[in-house]
Chain A
Amino acid sequence: MYLKLSVRNARRSFADYLLYVTAMTLLLAVAEVSNCMAIIGELAGFQVISLPLLIAVIQIVLAGYMDTFMLKQRAKEFANYLLLGMGKKRLTRLFLWEVLLIGFCCYLAGTAAGFAVYGFWYFREPLHEMKHWGFLYGKSMFYTFMSFCLMETVCSFRLKRRLNRLQIRELMYEKNRSQGVKDTGNYKKWGRIFCLCFMCFIGCVCGIVFLPEAYIVYPVSVAAIPLLLSVFAFYQWAFGCLYAQRKMKSLKIYQKDMLYITAHFTSDVKTTAIVNAVFCICFLFSACSFVTGMLMLQPEFQLFDTAVRQWMGMSQISICIVFLVIYFSILSLQQIIEVRQNAKSSRIMYCMGKSSRQIERLVNRQTAVKLIAPMIMALLILLFCLPLLNGKMNFILPASMGNILYKLTGAFGACMILFYSCYFGIVSAMSRRYINSSV
């Protein structure tokens, strides 16, 4: 009977599952592409293993977010199973198996799609003729499977702990539950950590630019630590501050649509901060890959021979695209899910006196903020680092490549605007559909 009920409920929440499956498949396809690149790079004598590792970390965070989303969607159903007499252990096992099974199907679809994309772009190039494609597919699938297992193990462990903690009553309200922060003054501590880490990072960049060549290796090797910490601390501080404003009933948020938007972004304050930090890192990685790739493709840049240079350049640009796709696709999916979940809110706002066009504008503003929020810290970092690093590059590179960093960053900006406009358009169109059907 439980199985019957479970299948029926899964069918009923088909749209949620569709979004879950799409996001998981996309993540695993990206992992497959990055593994293919790492394997080919390894064969060509380059060290690119850090790429799939970074993607695995991002995957764990995002898969955790999606699992939590599915748990929230189905929490009421689980409470009903417990009321019908099902044991907590059995319920946990059932849900974990379900997640694992869906995940495995996504793995098969994702690896196939990822390998197909990689093959389409790269297989015609001479560098890849050295090995049979079956070897590449087998090895990359194995690597992707390993990262999939790691992701599922971490997420299952977290889900199991969470399910064990929740009682029937809590499960009943889990879908609507808002994630609060006990100590609202905590954000000040994060603000201090952010300032400290950011100063350390700027110090490292200054070291890279101004220290003699023999000592540059030291700031280069540690720069990533204050960078990552400052990104994490910044979003903890920013969202914590917003949440504290809300808790203190600050007058600033009680005007126009500020209250609604603030509530939207602070209802799951901890998760939102972590997700934004992860996407900020994605964005930074993407920008670095783009600039490095484009630099490699410059004919004046004579560090390696032409074939290797081109391969490396194209790989870096592919990594950039991979990260941009992760960034925009997951954020867009998240926004579409939220608009769908908030259909009732749209209806209430309509009754309160907002026209459907005003609600559309409100949701578009939310979408714009959602897509741009993780970029804020990245832009701050670029603002401080770019002039310093560009000066250094001008000093090293020939005069014909003057201000190359500014030019390449400008090109990346244009690329971003293109991606942003496309994804914003898609989310806006889908949101309009949901809004019009709900009011």
Chain B
Amino acid sequence: MNQIRIGAFISERRKANGWTQSQLAEKLGITDKAVSKWETGRSMPDLSLFMPLCTLLKITLNELFAGECIAEEKLKEKADEVLMDVITNWLGHDQWEGQECDAAPQSVLEVENISRLYETESSSVLAVNNVSFRIPQGSFTGIMGASGCGKTTLLHLIATIDRPTNGAVRISGQNITDLPEEAAAEFRRRHLGFVFQEYNLLETLTVYENIALALTVKEVSKENIRPMIRRLSEKLDIAAVLDKFPYEVSGGQRQRCACARAIVANPDIILADEPTGALDSRAARQLLDTFVMLCRECGATILMVTHDVMAASYCDRILFMKDGEIKAALNREQKNKQTFFADILKKIQWIEGESHDVPETFRP
């Protein structure tokens, strides 16, 4: 299945019907951004949207997956081809679920030589020191390190909550380091989603209202709010608790609600600050599976800060931080979770003893 080809086909059929992206989005009850992401091959439509989309574009499901109009005489042959393609795609994800696109994925986040110095009258602390890295579209990246190594500070710099002393941060190509306060808020609203360790849900709002609040802040049309929340809550298995208040549901459900709030408006990148910190191992695994699912199925890009090796083993790539610097990086490539877990432990061991060895050169 070629996602880019499918996207181009959706675009072509939309234009043939004389609709804009907004008009198509409105008909499907979703955001313009989602349609834009399909058309550029950055994500695929949700399962529940396939049939309404095909009906609207006046195409068959086979034609959608093939990414082209199929002539009557080639229908059987093409249908088998598409089916085979789908099955291969499905079975091939048994161990490694990473996206394999023909085109090299675009970078969503580019961090270039950023530093953050905190100065008081008597002392100064370099919390982040000359850090550079890139995060590709649709990836699940982790930042690991011990407490106080600067990982949350780094996340705050990326989130426009704090400003770097030096360097630049680009998200979707836009430099966010020098944005004035109002523009930074606008940027957070349009491009970022957050998941925190302490859930940070508003206690006076129900789970449904907490998710809806994110959409009202992002000024999503009020008619689209209900279908969007319904779809996402079913996907994240929180549909049954939507009318409950956060204090009435379990920690895992609360965190999935926070996750839904972060993802619902389709941000460019989700920033998660130790999201499994307050969860038991089962709830943590469920949440991490949700993150992986969001990456694979919704094309979400996630940057997660953690010190938990188990949580890190779900990532596609891990950056190891120590004393404000990125000391090493580890790519999952096509390893299974167990092998990757063992590799992370080895890497941590190496970093612990790194002061005695020759340092590894980290390439962003």
Binding site for B on A (CB under 8 A): 173, 176-178, 246, 249, 251-252, 254-260, 263-264, 267, 344-345, 347-358
Contact = CB atoms under 8 A, between A and B. Distances in A.
Contact of A353 (B186, B209, B246): B186
A348 B208 CA distance: 16
Contact of B217 (A249, A345, A349): A349
Contact of B213 (A178, A251, A259): A259
Interface in B199-229: 200-205, 208-209, 212-219, 222-223, 225-226
B266 to A, nearest CB: 14
Best-buried of A249, A252, A356 by chain B (most CB within 10 Å): A249
B344 interface: no
B333 interface: no
Q: Is the interface of B mostly helix, strand, loop or mixed?
A: helix
A177 B244 CA distance: 11
Most chain A CB within a 10 A radius of its CB, from B186, B189, B217, B245: B217
B345 interface: no
A351 B265 CA distance: 14
B275 to A, nearest CB: 14
A176 B186 contact: no
Given A351-B161, A352-B188, A259 B209 contact: yes
B185 interface: yes
Contacts of B118: none
Interface string B245-282: 11100000000000000000000000000000000000
B184 interface: yes
A177 B206 CA distance: 11
Nearest to B181: A355
Contacts of B190: 353
A255 B159 CA distance: 25
Nearest to A359: B185
A348 to B, nearest CB: 5
A354 B217 CA distance: 8
Contact of A256 (B192, B194, B209, B216): B216
B212 A254 contact: yes
A348 B202 CA distance: 8
A358 B182 CA distance: 9
Interface residues of B, number: 36
A155 B363 CA distance: 68
Contacts of B219: 256
Contacts of B204: 176, 178, 263-264, 267, 345
Nearest to A345: B202
B264 to A, nearest CB: 11
A264 B202 CA distance: 10
Contact of A173 (B202, B209, B217, B247): B247
19 contacts: A176-B203, A177-B245, A177-B247, A252-B222, A254-B212, A255-B216, A257-B216, A259-B213, A260-B213, A263-B202, A263-B205, A264-B204, A348-B200, A350-B185, A352-B213, A352-B218, A353-B186, A354-B185, A356-B181
A353 B188 contact: yes
Contacts of A249: 208, 226
A177 B247 CA distance: 8
Contacts of A349: 217
Q: Which of B204, B217, B246 has the most CB of A within 10 A?
A: B204
Nearest to B203: A176
Contacts of B245: 176-178
Nearest to A180: B245
A352 B161 contact: no
A355 B181 CA distance: 7
B202 A353 contact: no
Contacts of B185: 350, 353-355, 358
Contacts of A358: 185
Which of B186, B202, B209, B246 gathers the greatest number of chain A CB atoms within 10 Å? B202
Nearest to B205: A263
Interface of B: 159, 161, 181-182, 184-190, 192, 194, 200-205, 208-209, 212-219, 222-223, 225-226, 245-247
A251 B182 contact: no
Contacts of B205: 259, 263
A356 to B, nearest CB: 7
A177 B215 CA distance: 24
A260 B214 CA distance: 11
B216 A263 contact: no
A260 B202 CA distance: 10
A13 B184 CA distance: 34
Nearest to A349: B217
Contacts of A348: 200-202
Contact of A347 (B200, B213, B223): B200
Nearest to B184: A355
Chain A to chain B: the 5 pairs with minimum beta-carbon distance, closest first: A353-B189, A355-B185, A176-B203, A267-B204, A353-B188
A246 B188 CA distance: 27
Contacts of B194: 351-352
Given A263-B205, A264-B204, A355-B184, A254 B216 contact: yes
B233 to A, nearest CB: 13
Contacts of B192: 353
Contacts of B200: 344, 347-348, 351
Given A254-B212, A259-B212, A358-B185, A353 B217 contact: yes
Contacts of A345: 202, 204
A303 to B, nearest CB: 53
Contacts of B201: 348
A241 B107 CA distance: 49
A339 to B, nearest CB: 13
A249 B161 CA distance: 32
Contacts of A259: 205, 209, 212-213, 216
A362 to B, nearest CB: 10
Given A347-B200, A351-B194, A254 B208 contact: no
Nearest to A251: B222
* Residue of A252, A256, A257, A351 most packed against chain B (CB within 10 A): A351
B289 to A, nearest CB: 24
Contacts of A257: 216
A178 B206 CA distance: 10
Given A249-B208, A249-B226, A263-B209, A352 B217 contact: yes
A345 B200 CA distance: 8
A308 to B, nearest CB: 53
Contacts of A357: 181-182
B160 to A, nearest CB: 10
B216 A355 contact: no
A256 B212 CA distance: 11
A353 B218 contact: yes
B270 to A, nearest CB: 12
Nearest to B201: A348
Given A176-B203, A353-B192, A353-B218, 13 more contacts: A178-B245, A246-B209, A249-B208, A252-B222, A255-B216, A259-B212, A259-B216, A348-B201, A353-B189, A354-B217, A355-B182, A355-B184, A357-B181
A258 B216 CA distance: 9
Contact of A351 (B159, B181, B216, B247): B159
B357 to A, nearest CB: 39
Contacts of A178: 203-204, 245
